[in-house]
Amino acid sequence: MGALFDFGFTSFVTPKVVKILYPLIMILAALSALGFVDVAFRASTGFGIVTLLILAPLFFLVVTAIYRILLEFFIVIFRVAEDIRALRERGDIR
Q: What is the pLDDT of residue 70?
A: 96
Helices (H), the chain: 14-43, 45-50, 56-90
Mean model confidence pLDDT for the chain: 90
Q: What is the pLDDT of residue 34?
A: 97
Domain residue ranges of the chain, discontinuous segments joined by +: 14-89
Alpha-carbon distance of 82 to 15, in angstroms, equals 11
pLDDT tens digit string along 13-59? 788 889 999 999 999 999 999 999 999 999 999 999 999 999 999 99
Q: What is the pLDDT of residue 87?
A: 87
